[in-house]
């Protein structure tokens, strides 16, 4: 894997940053200020708290935010950026190395004759491409990939080892799927011959003696999964196929590790689902929704555009667009904060109530004596 190098002038241009000092310095590594080693390192120090480390390590080249003031001569060259995280995105991609996969198809990979493999595709060892599957141009499949019958993967896709793509799944261009994720498994959908315990509990709030789950009958998943362009799916995540219609993931959506997306779910564009999120079946999610880590969404819920759910939220009902919510069950963030404030005062109030109750009892006893 070849190391990359750029001058500070080239980096400043790539970051749309303001160069101060010597733009001819050649940079080979991006480092935390505490990891600075030599003149070929550039320290990413966009947080004020890192300034003391920057000075202590005698860093020669740094990338800093606009609100950090460096005296002249502290570093030989610096690049001032307006949006640190945006600069980090550009910088890390500038130095990132392409995945090291041998071009072409490994001898141990099995490609069915009816599969269509695009130009410049890499397919790693022990992968299996089923009948009538399509792999788009310039896509990279690491070893041990399974692509099911009639599945389609777009151009410039990147699939890491252990990814499993089910039958008829459609994946767009420039999609990245990380280790051991499963796309297109059957949905978790079952029914009882007679009214079951869950249906009874939803209707009445209790479980009757006659409403037990003596048998669970499988509902087959006839739909597929359709994933748009520029989607990224983290490691060990699962997206289930639809029952009749497709489960869909919109363009630009990013899904973290260990996320479960149930059958028939519709997720809009540019959403972010953080780690351990669980989305139950038939949820309809708008565009640009953010679900914090370990958030759970009940089945058939509708979530509007631009909703932000704080970590560990429990979403049990429909959420209006542009809401900021949190808690279990999820409620507006401000209401949740107020509730926590009042919960913290309950003990104090209870002591006052007990004191008032004692005083009232004493007064009543005295009145009886009189």
CA 244 to each of CA 18, 182, 207: distance values in angstroms, whole numbers, following the listed order: 54, 19, 30
Assign 123 to helix, strand or coil: strand
Mean predicted confidence (pLDDT) in 39-62 = 92
Indicate if the pLDDT at residue 245 is higher than 90.
yes
Instruction: Please tell me which residue, 361 or 52, carries the higher pLDDT value.
Output: 52
Burial 280-299 (b: 16+ CB within 10 A, else e): bbbbbbbbbbbbbbebbbbe
SS3 303: strand
Domain segments of the chain as ranges: 6-95
Q: What angle do CA 331, 336, 338 make, to 5 degrees?
A: 140
pLDDT per position as a tens digit, 186-198: 999 999 998 888 8
Q: Are 149 and 129 in contact (CB under 8 A)?
A: no
CA distances from 50 to 21, 41, 176 (A): 20, 16, 33
Residue 2 has pLDDT above 70, yes or no: no
Tokens of 122: 């890499």
DSSP state of 59: -
Span 302-327, mean pLDDT? Answer: 97
Q: Partners of 81 in the beta sheet?
A: 65
Is domain 6-95 annotated with CATH 3.40.47.10? no
162, 146 Cβ separation under 8 angstroms:
no
Residue 283 near residue 299, CB atoms below 8 Å: yes
Element (H, E) at 363: helix 333-369
Residue-wise pLDDT tens digits, 159-174:
999 999 999 999 999 9
Residue pLDDT, tens place only, 112-156: 999 999 999 999 999 999 999 999 999 999 999 999 999 999 999
Which helix (H) or strand (E) segment holds residue 152: the answer is strand 152-153
Pairwise pLDDT comparison (52 vs 212), residue with the higher score: 52
Q: In this structure, are residues 28 and 5 in contact, taking their beta carbons and an 8 Å threshold?
A: yes
pLDDT of residue 370: 65
319: which DSSP letter? B
Q: What is the mean pLDDT of the chain?
A: 93
Give this prediction's pTM: 0.89
pLDDT at 203: 84
Active-site residue among 150, 178, 263, 276? Answer: 263
Instruction: Tell me the sheet residues that pair with 176.
Output: 158, 232
Closest by Cα among 164, 115, 120, 123 to 143: 123
Q: pLDDT class for 73, splitting at 50, 70, 90? A: confident
Judge whether 340 counts as a catalytic residue: no
The pLDDT-based confidence of 201 (bands split at 50, 70, 90) is: confident
């Amino acid at each position: 894997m070849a190391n990359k190098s750029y001058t500070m002038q080239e980096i400043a241009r790539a970051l749309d940053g303001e160069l101060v000092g010597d733009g001819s310095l050649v940079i080979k590594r991006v480092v935390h200020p505490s990891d600075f080693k030599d003149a070929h390192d550039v320290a990413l120090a966009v947080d004020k708290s890192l300034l003391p480390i920057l000075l202590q390590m005698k860093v020669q080249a740094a990338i800093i935010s606009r609100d950090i003031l460096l005296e002249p001569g502290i570093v030989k060259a610096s690049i001032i950026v307006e949006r640190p995280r945006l600069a980090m995105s550009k910088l890390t991609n500038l130095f990132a190395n392409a995945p090291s996969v041998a071009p072409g198809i490994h001898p141990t990979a099995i490609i069915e004759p009816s599969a269509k493999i695009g130009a410049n595709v890499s397919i790693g060892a022990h992968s299996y491409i089923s009948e009538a599957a399509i792999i788009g141009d310039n896509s990279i499949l690491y070893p041990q990939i399974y692509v099911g019958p009639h599945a389609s993967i777009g151009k410039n896709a990147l699939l890491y080892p252990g990814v499993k793509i089910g039958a008829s799944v459609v994946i767009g261009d420039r999609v990245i799927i990380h280790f051991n994720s499963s796309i297109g498994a059957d949905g978790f959908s079952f029914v009882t011959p007679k009214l079951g315990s869950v249906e009874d509990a939803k209707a009445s709030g209790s479980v009757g003696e006659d409403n037990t789950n003596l048998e669970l009958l499988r509902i087959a998943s006839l739909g597929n999964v359709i994933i748009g362009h520029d989607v990224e799916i983290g490691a060990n995540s699962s997206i289930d196929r639809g029952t009749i219609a497709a489960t869909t993931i919109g363009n630009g959506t990013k899904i973290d590790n260990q996320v479960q997306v149930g059958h028939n779910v519709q997720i809009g564009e540019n959403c972010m689902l953080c780690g351990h999120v669980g989305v139950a079946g038939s949820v309809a999610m708008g565009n640009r929704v953010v679900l914090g880590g370990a958030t759970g969404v009940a089945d058939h819920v509708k979530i509007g555009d631009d909703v932000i759910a704080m970590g560990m939220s429990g979403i049990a009902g429909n959420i209006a667009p542009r809401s900021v919510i949190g808690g279990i069950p999820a409620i507006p963030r401000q209401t949740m904060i107020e509730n926590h404030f009042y919960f913290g005062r309950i003990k104090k109030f209870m002591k006052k109530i007990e004191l008032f109750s004692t005083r009232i009892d004493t007064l009543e006893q005295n009145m009886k004596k009189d």
